[in-house]
Structure 1
Amino acid sequence: MTLLVVIVFVAVYAGMALGRWPGLGLDRTGIALIGGMGLGLAGAVTPAAALEAIDFPTLFVLFGLMILSARFAESGFYDWCVARIAAARAGPVALLALTVAVTGLLSAVLSNDVVVFAMTPLLCLGLGARGLDPRPFLIALAGAANAGSAATMIGNPQNILIGQTGRLDFFDFLLACGPPAVLSLVVVHVTVLLVWRGRWSAPVQGGLPTPRVDRLELAWAGLATLALLALFASPLPQAESVLIIGGLMLLSRNLATRAILGLVDWSLLVLFAGLFVVTAAFSQTGLPAAGLAWLAGHGLPVADPAVLTTLALAGSNTVGNVPAVMLFLKIVPDAGPGLLYSLALLSTLAGNLLLVGSLANIIVAERAAAVGVRLTFRTHAACGVPMTIASMALALLWLTGLGYLPWK
């Protein structure tokens, strides 16, 4: 049975890296789901064990935050932000800084994937109407979404998973990861500025539609966000806090429940559930623990900064940061807060390296292509590689300086 679990695990994580199984239309969610179902049907995982493997508090937090982000999107808030950026009376350098700052802030509080999904098309149209090349701004958008999301425990799916698994405090997480995340936003701006200096112009194209903002809807979503932050400071478990806010967000006079739930990324929730089962089964074989013991025996403990940085870069830019973090948490179940802060920060920043390094990068490229702007792998890497090296170096200095990730 161990051999079967290993084969399924390798097949699933190969699918995570490739994005599909050759010859089939399955995406990452389908691969994870089939992997979990296959283990169950083969008897490698019992139904009870499968349910126990799924971290439902993490899924509840993701679900509630998706509803909150959906209400912001429905209010027209993201469209309004992009319109203000594109219409600002400023030069390209200032517009770039504005893009980075707004995206970073929104991604720290709301889901970074939702932010870039909503902002990308209008950013392309607005900048094109001003005769500016949208590509450097799109790279900055993706880079800032990743960097900004690293600041908080609710900025991206992997941080949510880490926070729930380690039972971390929201504000302690912010104090640990917020400062290097802000520095990384500066790195994103400076990197794109240096790489694209003097190449901002492009033929004028189209125009930007006037956004419509539902102020009442926006006020309701804003109050809900403040209430959520207040609940995070209370003794109430975070999963329950998010579910309370998510339930309140379903109350609407204009939006039907079906419409709100239609904006939830159910595929991501199913992906998490499938990976929970597959990684739990793999960890039960004892092979991951043996591998860690072998590394430690050769002077390479996982808590070593060089080892963790290498794992973060390799994992985020192959199988993806969510599957990589999920596997790490299964094979290192006793990780302390310092190591978890380090994992969250480094795995998120590592996603800026390549276009395939994070879901936010892929969303930006696909949404831009839909409005006629092509962001290639090479174009992204010209900024992604240096910004990742610089931001991760700063993060390592911060983490080791505070003793979260000490050098041995």
Structure 2
Amino acid sequence: MDLTLLIFLSVYVAMGFGKLPGFKIDRTGSALVGALAMLSIGSISSQAAWNAIDYKTIGLLFGLMIVSGAFAVSGFYGWAAHKVATLNVNPAKLLAVFIMVSGILSSILTNDVVVVAMTPLLVSITLVRGLNPIPFLLGFCFAANAGSVGTLIGSPQNMIAAQALDVSFVELLKVAGLPAIISLFIVWGVICFLFRGKWETKQSASHAHAPMSLPQLNLIETLKASVVTVALVVLFIIDIWPQELVALAAAGILLINRKIASNDVLKEVDGNLILLIMGLFIVNAAMAATGLPQTLLADLKHLGMDLNDPLSLYAVGAALSNIVGNNPTVMLLVPYLDAGADANALCAALALGTGFSSNMVIFGSLAGIVVVEQAKSCGVEISFMDFAKAGFPVSVICLVLAGLWIYLL
């Protein structure tokens, strides 16, 4: 048990720091090594490890990544980013468009993929326009996290929570959709207030990236991906077939193509995230087998902190997200939830708590890390304090309002 606890803690220390201190091993590597270590010392059997992996969640996530990847290879993301960034509007209105587009796309397509695909082009075009890219990138990132909380397909943590609690697409939309919409207005208002008078960049045009031409859009492939996506959402709403089978069927249709190689679409799949989730399933199951988490939760319940109470779950999820990240937080908590009649409220608590709090600091979400790293590669530095100065008030306001919403549920 001591070794199991040590491995478990080491894995989640890596989740928090982004790597295991003293080693060049990232989150995904730590999860995989942790899973292998649990198997090696006998904390979990091979069969139990296979059983611990929720293949429904993996299938759903993989299928939706393929759907989102089809939009990426068709040139849609680049085309959309260029169209948005070149609108002839003032900075505040341009920010509003950034936020609206990010929120909408992230609620339909996986938020991390949207951020990866569009960030570099948004950096380049804002610099060419003589604008400070930081408020626009922060708004885009915050909206991707906040807008995605309202739908089952908006983020990996929503998929994990909904699958575990058996919550449908429509049920999650009913309990989390309105707070997600309101959060986009909060993001816009806070950033406009903080960056008033600071819209322009001090970087001269000669040092900015060269103007980029309108990216080529494959209209036929974009239409095909759009039709499949609409059909997928409709089938999710009707809810007559398992969600993971619908997502995988959609992926299969999009991979069959005479002009675009399936390998090009598969490159858009975040294999590291899928491996991380599989590893954490095994690590968490091995820890659960010790009985220690159940004992700890029983003690917390006596102290008034019951994870099966939506408000308690909301608070714990929000706090943990900024320590180990939103996806690991959801995976850590869902095995100990007893859905019952409160499944919808519990799912909303997880989605809203982990989604809104993840805007507080850079490492609270994969989207935050991606935006900061890609901006840096384009010559734009977003420091920890730059992110937190805007992210903290955005998160706090969204969390307070969402907490009241959870209470009403």
TM-score interval w.r.t. the shorter chain?
over 0.9
Gaps of at least 5 residues in structure 2 are none
- Other-structure match for 1:375: 382
1:262–1:305 Cα change, 3 Å: closer
- Other-structure match for 1:331: 336
Task: Return the match for 1:274 from 273, 279, 285.
Answer: 279
- Other-structure match for 1:174: 173
Superposed, 1:8-407 pairs within 5 Å as 8-202=7-201, 203-204=204-205, 205=208, 206-232=210-236, 233-304=238-309, 307-334=312-339, 336-401=343-408, 403=409
Give the % identical residues.
Answer: 39
Q: How does the TM-score come out when normalised to structure 2? A: 0.95
Aligned partners of 2:106 and 2:154 also within 8 Å: yes
Following superposition, the deviation at residue 279 of structure 1 comes to: 0.4
Gaps of at least 5 residues in structure 1 are 404-408
**1:375-396 Cα deviation digits (max 9, x unpaired):** 1110011110000000111111
Following superposition, the deviation at residue 23 of structure 1 comes to: 2.9
Aligned partners of 2:310 and 2:345 also within 8 Å: no
How many Å separate the matches in 1 of 2:56 and 2:338?
17
Following superposition, the deviation at residue 333 of structure 1 comes to: 4.6
Aligned partners of 2:99 and 2:143 also within 8 Å: yes
How many Å separate the matches in 2 of 1:220 and 1:77?
12
1:265 partner amino acid: D
Larger mean Cα displacement after TM superposition, 325-334 or 364-373: 325-334
SS in 2 for 1:353: coil
How many Å separate the matches in 1 of 2:247 and 2:231?
10
Following superposition, the deviation at residue 236 of structure 1 comes to: 0.4
How many Å separate the matches in 1 of 2:338 and 2:273?
23
Following superposition, the deviation at residue 227 of structure 1 comes to: 1.0
How many Å separate the matches in 2 of 1:236 and 1:308?
29
Larger mean Cα displacement after TM superposition, 335-344 or 210-219: 335-344
How many Å separate the matches in 2 of 1:364 and 1:154?
21
SS in 2 for 1:318: helix
How many Å separate the matches in 2 of 1:314 and 1:172?
25
- Other-structure match for 1:406: none
2:384 partner amino acid: F
Q: How does the TM-score come out when normalised to structure 1? A: 0.96
How many Å separate the matches in 2 of 1:93 and 1:234?
40
Aligned partners of 1:283 and 1:331 also within 8 Å: no
Following superposition, the deviation at residue 399 of structure 1 comes to: 1.7
TM-align CA RMSD: 1.3
**1:168-222 Cα deviation digits (max 9, x unpaired):** 1101111111100000111000010000001001133231332110000100100
How many Å separate the matches in 1 of 2:5 and 2:98?
44
Runs of 4+ residues over 6 Å off in structure 1: none
How many Å separate the matches in 2 of 1:273 and 1:242?
18
Larger mean Cα displacement after TM superposition, 345-354 or 306-315: 306-315
How many Å separate the matches in 1 of 2:306 and 2:20?
33
SS in 1 for 2:363: coil
2:125 partner amino acid: G
**1:331-360 Cα deviation digits (max 9, x unpaired):** 225462211221111111110011111100
2:158 partner amino acid: N
